């Protein structure tokens, strides 16, 4: 039988202002022309609490994490 813990999750004090920790949402879209970026038709520039990043439109507002947001911090865009 599995052991269950009644401990609560450790609170780090870090809060987010986006809808989720790892997903991409339409409310996070930033106008890429302000930064002089040329994006493909299916790409958008987004900003979360810590950085800008580019993802595809099919990753927006779905119930799974967006690897473009969290997987590779070296690939994020710095305006």
Residue 22: pLDDT above 70? yes
Split into its structural domains, the chain has a count of 1
Kindly state whether residue 5 falls inside one of the protein's structural domains.
Answer: no
Kindly state whether residue 32 falls inside one of the protein's structural domains.
Answer: yes
Residue 16: pLDDT above 80? no
Could you tell me the residue range of the domain that residue 67 belongs to?
26-75
State pLDDT tens for residues 26-58. 998 999 999 899 999 999 999 988 889 999 999
- How does the average pLDDT of the chain come out, rounded? 80
Kindly state whether residue 20 falls inside one of the protein's structural domains.
Answer: no
| pTM to 2 decimal places | 0.71
CB 5 within 8 A of CB 11: no
State percent of the chain over pLDDT 70.
Answer: 72
């Amino acid at each position: 039988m599995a052991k269950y813990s009644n401990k609560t999750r450790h609170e780090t004090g870090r809060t987010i202002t986006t809808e989720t920790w790892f997903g991409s949402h339409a409310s996070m879209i930033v106008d890429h022309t302000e930064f002089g970026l040329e994006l493909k038709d299916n790409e958008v520039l987004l900003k979360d609490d810590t950085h800008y990043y580019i993802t595809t439109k099919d990753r927006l507002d779905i119930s799974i994490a967006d690897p473009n947001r969290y997987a590779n911090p070296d690939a994020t865009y710095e305006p």
